[in-house]
């Protein structure tokens, strides 16, 4: 009994003395990289289990843009987001915030929610994404209707020395040939329209914009999407387009390859 009491006392003392030491042992490193993710449910991690295995989180966890100890990370992506939401809500929030270190890398995945919910104007969708990138890069100089600070009504500062990576979408393997053809036409058309629209965005010196192609390399891939898994397909118009864990890892690899190609 006496020995049990002594052990309990020893454990209590260790917790009291060791607890603060563990907390105080964490170091705040200086940050030189700020990675911000914008977009829809794919960028938010939908389909991954847990969602923090989504591709944006993997890019941060693996230190693709910089070591974790020197990188700020913020994922502003929201499930159900369409191109309007990124341009009119996520971009203003990112621009008008004024942390000491502003974003140095931004990834954007959006647009599928528009045409999958009935918007047939693929060039218009791509144009809104290009407008979002234009505001990020040129808000206080070349934008006709800039994002204004809600207090001062002055245009919020554009980002400088930033790399913006914008992705298209992977192929969706639908079992119905007619719907498969429609999806392929929409996804291929979106890829072409996005590339064209982004070419028209003025990119200031020191900044870069690149397209991450998910569509072309995914054509012969299998196992990337939940539509191919149990309960991922319930009918011709009821299917899950989100990536699996493997799919999110694959997407992260495509982003990483483009990033490395820019270095």
pLDDT digits (tens, 9 = 90+) for 92-118: 999 999 999 999 999 999 999 999 999
The CA-based angle 146-148-167, given to 5 degrees, is 55
Side-chain half-sphere CA neighbours of 235 within 13 A = 2
Residue 10 Cα distances to 4, 230, 235, angstroms:
10, 52, 62
pLDDT of residue 22: 45
Tell me if the domain spanning 29-262 has CATH number 2.120.10.30. Answer: no
pLDDT of residue 81: 96
Evaluated on CA atoms 172, 179, 167, 106, the torsion sign reads: negative
pLDDT by residue (tens digit) across 24-73? 556 777 889 999 999 999 999 999 999 999 999 999 999 999 999 999 99
Name the residue ranges covered by the structural domains of the chain: 29-262
The rounded mean pLDDT for the chain is: 91
Residue 42 belongs to what H/E stretch? helix 41-44
pLDDT by residue (tens digit) across 41-50? 999 999 999 9
């Amino acid at each position: 009994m006496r020995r049990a009491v002594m052990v309990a006392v020893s454990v209590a003392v260790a917790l009291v003395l060791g607890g603060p030491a563990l907390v105080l042992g964490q170091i705040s490193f200086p940050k030189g990289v700020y990675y911000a993710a914008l977009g829809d449910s794919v960028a938010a991690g939908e389909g991954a289990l847990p969602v923090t295995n989504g591709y944006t989180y993997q890019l941060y966890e693996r230190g693709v843009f910089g070591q974790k100890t020197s990188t700020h990370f913020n994922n502003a992506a929201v499930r159900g987001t369409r191109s309007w939401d990124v341009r009119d809500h996520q971009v203003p929030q990112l621009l008008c915030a004024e942390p000491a270190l502003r974003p140095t890398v931004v990834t954007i995945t959006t647009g599928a929610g528009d045409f999958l919910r009935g918007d047939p104007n693929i060039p218009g969708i791509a144009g809104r994404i290009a407008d979002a990138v234009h505001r990020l890069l040129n808000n206080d100089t070349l934008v006709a209707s800039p994002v204004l600070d809600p207090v001062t009504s002055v245009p919020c500062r554009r980002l400088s020395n930033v790399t913006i990576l914008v992705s298209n979408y992977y192929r969706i393997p639908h079992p119905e040939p007619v719907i498969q053809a429609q999806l392929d036409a929409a996804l291929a058309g979106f890829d072409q329209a996005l590339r064209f629209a982004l070419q028209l965005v003025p990119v200031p010196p020191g900044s870069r914009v690149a397209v991450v192609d998910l569509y072309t390399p995914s054509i012969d891939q299998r196992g990337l999407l939940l539509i191919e898994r149990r309960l991922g397909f319930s009918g011709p118009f009821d299917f899950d387009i989100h990536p699996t864990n493997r799919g999110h890892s694959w997407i992260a690899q495509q982003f990483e390859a483009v990033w490395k190609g820019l270095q």
